[in-house]
Amino acid sequence: MLLQYENLIRQVDCKLTVPYWDWSLVSAEPFNNEFWNDTLYSFGGNGAGDPPCVNTGPFSANSGWKLPQSAGGKCLHRVFLTGFPGVVPDVVAVARVLAKEASEFTNFELMIRANLNNIIFFAVGGTMLSIDNAMAPEFVPTHAFTDRIWAQWQEKSTEHLLPPFFLTQNDTIPGTNLRPREVLRNDRLPGDVRVKYAAPDLGNWTRIIQALNEIAETNPNELNKLPRMESAKLNATMFGVGEEEGQRATEMQKELTTEVKVDPSQLTGMEKMMGVKVKDITELMQKTNTTR
Q: Coil, strand, or helix at residue 152?
A: helix
The rounded distance, in Å, linking the Cα atoms of 7 and 83 is: 39
Beta-carbon contacts of 18 under 8 Å, excluding residues fewer than 6 positions away, are: 2, 5, 6, 9, 140, 141, 144
Pick the closest to residue 271 from 280, 284, 259 (CA basis). Answer: 280
**Burial class, 96, CB count within 10 angstroms (exposed 0-12 / middle 13-18 / buried 19+):** buried
- The answer to whether 76 and 59 are in contact (CB under 8 A) is yes
Share of the chain above pLDDT 70, in %: 97
**CA 61, CA 47: separation in Å to the nearest integer?**
10
The pLDDT tens digits for 157-189 are: 999 999 998 888 899 988 889 999 999 999 999
pLDDT at 236 > cutoff 70: no
pLDDT at 147: 95
- Render pLDDT for 5-43 as a digit per residue (tens, 0 to 9): 998 998 999 888 899 999 999 998 899 899 999 998 899
Share of the chain above pLDDT 90, in %: 71
- Paired residues of 53 in beta bridges: 48, 77
Asked if the model's pLDDT at residue 237 lies above 70, the reply is: no
- Asked whether the beta carbons of 117 and 142 are under 8 A apart, the reply is yes
pLDDT at position 241: 85
For residue 232, pLDDT beyond 80: no
What pLDDT, in 10s, does the model give residues 272-286? 889 999 999 999 999
CA distances from 16 to 8, 10, 19, 148 (A): 10, 6, 9, 18
**CA–CA separation, 100 vs 108, rounded Å?**
6
Under a CB-based contact definition with an 8 Å cutoff, are residues 199 and 177 in contact? no
> Which pLDDT band, with edges at 50, 70 and 90, does 85 fall under?
low
pLDDT the model gives residue 188: 92
pLDDT in tens, 182-222: 999 999 999 999 999 999 999 999 999 999 999 999 999 99
Q: Please give the mean pLDDT across all residues of the chain.
A: 91
So where are the chain's domains?
1-36+80-290
Categorize the per-residue pLDDT at 82 as very low, low, confident or very high, splitting at 50, 70 and 90.
confident
77 forms beta bridges with 53
Among 5-9, 106-110, 140-144, which is the least confidently predicted range? 5-9
Whether the pLDDT of residue 269 is over 70: the answer is yes
Q: Considering only 57-61, 142-146, 166-170, which range has the smallest mean pLDDT?
A: 166-170
DSSP symbol at 261: B
Higher pLDDT, 267 or 47: 47
pTM of the model: 0.94
Q: Is the pLDDT of residue 69 over 70?
A: yes
